Amino acid sequence: MSNRSGTMRRIIIRAIVIGAASLAFHAQFQDRALGRAGDQLRAEGQTSPEQIERWQALAARSAGPLSVAWNKRTGTPESILGEIYRPMAVDAESAARRFLAEHAVLFKMKSEMDDLALERSFESVLGRHVVFQQNYRGVPVYGAQTAVHFNQAGTIVAVNNSYLPGIELESVEPRLSESDAFDGVRHLLPRNSRAEAEGDLVVYDVDGTSRLAWRFTVATAGPTWEMFVDAQSGDLVGQPRDINRYVSGTGQVFRVNAVVATHDNTLRDNNDAASAVPSSAYMIVTLLGLNNNGFLDGQYASSSKTKRRASSASNTFVFDRGDDGFSETMGYYYIDYAERYIQTSLGFANVNNRQQVFAVNRLKQDNSFYSSSSKQITFGLGGVDDAEDAEVILHEYGHSIQDNQVPGFGSSHEAGSMGEGFGDYWGASIGAQFSGGFQDTCLAEWDATSYSSSNPPCLRRLDGTKHYPEDIDGEVHDDGEIWSAALWQIRGSIGPVAADKVIVAAHFLLSRTASFNQGANALVTAAMSLGYTSAQVSSIRTILQNRGFTVTV
């Protein structure tokens, strides 16, 4: 379908009824009714008076009332429905061409029809359908097709039309080859998109301007990107867009984790026993963006590195924790949720806009990690399966976010510590959207039940009092608590969404080896750049200085 459809208004052609809310008139109209019809069409800005007269000529030949929708930009009929015309007994393609030729002025087509190539002709229970593709000097016009539909009796009962009149190009010979054009824009695709593209030469229209362009489709394990490149200048026309068609599914997950969901810190793993966790810990969720291939593969997440994957032809992934499919569903749901939050609530279309691949059952150790080389997340099975805890899932996704914004981030001790601190913060901040306020500063309670002796059991906390630089001990997770505690204080001061936004935005300003002080100054700079109030900026600055960081902006 063309992306130029614009706003259409529908006119129902029926007998004129005085006082009716919408204009209608029968094909056997009277002169006075025609004038009234033209006035309303012009008032609604749907087409020109000349086009009204041409339409009336067509309507006069119809066997009954018609419905027409006008293309606001071209002023031509985009859709006609009803018993339009009964052609002579010839083949469907010839009949369709004859009909279009007779009304070529109405459709603003060439009367000889030599720029319409038969795209396909096929039968259905309704009758025969004939679809033409518009070409300009032999080059397909993207999205420009005209379809003529016949019923079983051979009467034309519908026309769909996106023909583009008035195209004028100096040349249809591209200055850039297909490969050169793609090489010039390859870097604009989201990172990790496989750079294998299929290209074809088209005439592409944007906002009334037609140009010769290379259309590329780039398939990945997740999105399929479509992009257009001017074949003469090499400029990208518009932005890459995902043309996959996604579906929603049903899944079962913990509300953050079993401890948070039940408010019960005494729960234990019991060797993955389903009976160890009450049914009240689970919630049914909608899984968005699935590829509809029967697996947990989608726009932003994929469990494709998992062994013996869960599958469902109906996209129903409802398992308890005794099945690895539950961990897969947890991973898919919370990664997908986090990325949609980044794009929709925080407004970052270019932060980790990719499919995050993960595995839930390949590592038997009690550890999880994000790989900056493979760009994949591996969740461990030791103790509580790590992917049963959303805050562990989100912590690892935090590393993916930073690596996407600043490739190789964490290449110094302090940068690595900020990475661990951000991961903890991110897990807790997203988790707090589901927790109802229960133990938000205690990270990954469920995972921690297998190794923590504290009550409540915590992997780490976000409300510590560590101070820079005297509390640095050289271990990135320990030192990350200095950073995560500062971020959590900022969240409490300026609000969750504002804090999440400025924290993510600040990453763009950092190098892969950034120091704590550089991170602190980046936060303040980002807050000012985002237009935060002076009170918000001052609060962020004060919190960071009170943690011992040197802030000079």
Q: Are residues 285 and 211 in the same domain?
A: no
| Gyration radius of the chain over CA positions | 30
Q: Give the angle subtended at the CA of 370 by the CAs of 222 and 511, to the nearest 5°.
A: 100
Residue listed under structure tokens 């996959």 = 244
Q: Which two tokens stand for residue 249?
A: 């599914």
Q: Are residues 464 and 317 in the same domain?
A: yes
Determine phi and psi for 460, rounding to 5 degrees.
-155, 170
The answer to whether the Cα torsion of 416, 422, 425, 427 is positive or negative is negative
At 193 the pLDDT is 56
DSSP character string of 107-161: HT--TT-TTEEEEEEEE-SS-EEEEEEEEETTEEEEEEEEEEEE-TTS-EEEEEE
Q: Are residues 52 and 96 in the same domain?
A: yes
- Indicate the residue among 114, 134, 161 that finishes a domain: 161
Instruction: Give dist(CA 54, CA 297) in Å, integer.
Output: 51
Determine phi and psi for 130, rounding to 5 degrees.
-120, 125
Q: Are residues 371 and 469 in the same domain?
A: yes
Q: Is the peptide bond prior to 469 cis by the omega test (within 30 degrees of 0)? A: yes
Asked if 491 and 539 count as a contact pair (C-beta separation under 8 A), the reply is no
Buried b (16+ CB within 10 A) or exposed e, 109-147: beeebebbeeeeeeeeeebbbbbbbbbbeebbbbbbbbb
Of 377, 337, 374, 142, nearest in space to 237 by CA = 142
Q: Are residues 150 and 287 in the same domain?
A: no
Q: Looking at the domain assignment, is residue 169 inside a domain? A: no
Q: Are residues 394 and 273 in the same domain?
A: yes
Q: Beta-carbon neighbour count of residue 241 at 10 Å?
A: 12
Q: Are residues 66 and 112 in the same domain?
A: yes
Q: Are residues 121 and 255 in the same domain?
A: no
Q: Are residues 337 and 229 in the same domain?
A: no
Number of structural domains found in the chain: 3
The predicted model scores a pTM of: 0.76
Q: Looking at the domain assignment, is residue 4 inside a domain? A: no
Residue listed under structure tokens 């591996």 = 378
Q: Which two tokens stand for residue 543?
A: 């919190």
Tallying the residues shown for the chain, one arrives at 553
At 192 the pLDDT is 55
Q: Looking at the domain assignment, is residue 552 inside a domain? A: no
| Full domain range(s) for residue 201 | 178-235
- Indicate the residue among 235, 256, 279 that finishes a domain: 235
Q: Looking at the domain assignment, is residue 242 inside a domain? A: no
- Indicate the residue among 114, 131, 161 that finishes a domain: 161
Q: Are residues 472 and 529 in the same domain?
A: yes
Identify the DSSP state of 190: P
Q: Are residues 262 and 336 in the same domain?
A: yes
Q: Are residues 90 and 149 in the same domain?
A: yes
At 188 the pLDDT is 80
Q: Looking at the domain assignment, is residue 93 inside a domain? A: yes
- What is the full per-residue pLDDT of the chain (553 aa) written as tens digits? 333 333 333 333 332 222 322 323 333 333 333 333 333 333 333 688 999 999 999 999 898 899 999 998 899 999 999 999 888 778 999 999 999 999 999 999 998 999 999 999 999 989 999 999 999 999 999 999 999 999 999 999 999 999 999 999 999 999 999 999 999 988 887 665 555 788 999 999 988 899 999 999 998 777 888 999 999 999 999 888 888 889 999 999 999 999 999 999 999 999 999 999 999 999 999 999 999 999 999 999 999 999 999 999 999 999 999 999 999 999 999 999 999 999 999 999 889 999 999 999 999 999 999 999 999 999 999 999 999 999 999 999 999 999 999 999 999 999 999 999 999 999 999 999 999 999 999 999 999 999 999 999 999 999 999 999 999 999 999 999 999 999 999 999 999 999 999 999 999 999 999 999 999 999 999 999 999 999 999 999 999 999 999 999 9
Q: Looking at the domain assignment, is residue 251 inside a domain? A: yes
We report the CATH number of the domain holding residue 479 as 1.10.390.10
Q: Looking at the domain assignment, is residue 31 inside a domain? A: yes
At 24 the pLDDT is 31
Q: Looking at the domain assignment, is residue 446 inside a domain? A: yes
Q: Which two tokens stand for residue 484?
A: 């995560």
